[in-house]
Structure formats: C-alpha cells, structure tokens
Amino acid sequence: MLKNDLWIKQQADAGMLIPFQEKLIRHLNPEENKNPVLSFGCSSYGYDLRLSAKEFLIFRHIPGTVMNPKKFNPDNLETTTLHKDKDGEYFILPAHSYGLGVALEKMKVPENITVICLGKSTYARLGIIVNTTPAEASWEGHLTLEFSNSSGADCRVYANEGICQLLFFEGDPCQTTYSDRKGKYQHQPEKVTLAKV
C-alpha cells in the first residue's frame, strides 16, 4: 500500500526524515509568491527530497580506462563547483554527462516499508534523469543520488531544493531487513558514497 501524508508526518515525528518539511514548499516567501524553488517537503502521497549542497561529482572520460563496478576508480570522478546567484545555489551538470549527489535529508526507513526514489518532472523536461533508487526496509542514511543529463545542453541542478520524490510502500513484514543483513550501503553520510561490491 502506498502511504499518505498523514502517515509520512507521523513517521517523520519518529525520526524517519531529518530535517523534515511538513508542507510542500514552492516559494521561500509563500505569502508574497516570491523566491520560487523546485518544490520540496511532504505531498499527498510522497516526500520531495532535497539535494545537499555538500558534494556533487561528475564522471569524466579518462582515455584507456573502463569503469568497473567491482573495482571502482574514484579518479573517474571530479568535484564540481557550487555556484550561487539570485535563483539559488546550483551545480552544473554538463550535456551528455552523469553525476552523483547526495540527499540533504537523512532517512531511517521503517522495517515494513520500502521507499522508491523517482525523478521530478521539472528536471525530466530538461533531460535530467534521476535514477530510480530503492531504500529497503530498515535502511538508514543519506541517499546517494544518480543523475544523467541526456540533453545536448548543460543544466543547472539546484542544491537545497527538491530533486526527487520518495514514495513509501508498506509490505508484509520481511524475514530479513537491510539492517539485519548489514547491507553495504547502510549509514551513508551526507557525502557521495561510491559503488561497492
């Protein structure tokens, strides 16, 4: 069953999302409709997660190298600069490139819930694809987020604003949670976590 805003708020009070924004924020000054942002916070049946400003890495091509998930080479990644102007803080994701960021909110998934992370349509309309990422029962930490820029133009990716939506699905209790099996991505910090085997 897909969980609603009432359930999300109750679970947030118990520490499921920190920091937690109870309402969907579209403007930093909502009473004046000023300072628009990419929405973040609790919606009817989900939560719009924010991108942290702490780190954003972009894959670069190094001639003669082949990416290997079993022996991940961090030399294939480069840090990108956090920019700021009147529209907010942002990273630049170059055309036809791939980047890694991290969620601002820390999650603590209940043991009978699986969370699915999906991209936001505003970014999708620019060609930015957010990888569909699951967070399993009893997973904890800051999600590492993966982005593909499929367009022919460089794109801004805004920090401290909505980047993807979380959907919370309740299932029958499982025999072994992510925490029980000591999953390799448990307790990720607010820093990009690289591929592990």
- 146 an active-site residue? yes
- DSSP-derived 3-state class of residue 15: coil
Please count the residues of the chain.
197
DSSP-derived secondary structure letter, 121: H
Q: Note whether 161 and 24 are within 8 A (CB).
A: no
Determine the residue type at 82: L
Among the options 146, 161, 170, 190, which is catalytic?
Answer: 146
What phi and psi, each to the nearest 5 degrees, are found at residue 191? -155, 145
Query: Are 118 and 167 a contacting pair, CB within 8 Å?
Result: yes
53 phi/psi in degrees, rounded to 5: -85, 0
- List phi, psi (to 5°) of 173: -55, 135
Contacts of 81 (CB under 8 A, 6+ apart): 91, 92
DSSP-assigned beta bridge partners for residue 98: 148
Q: Which helix (H) or strand (E) holds 12?
A: helix 5-13
**Residues involved in catalysis:** 146
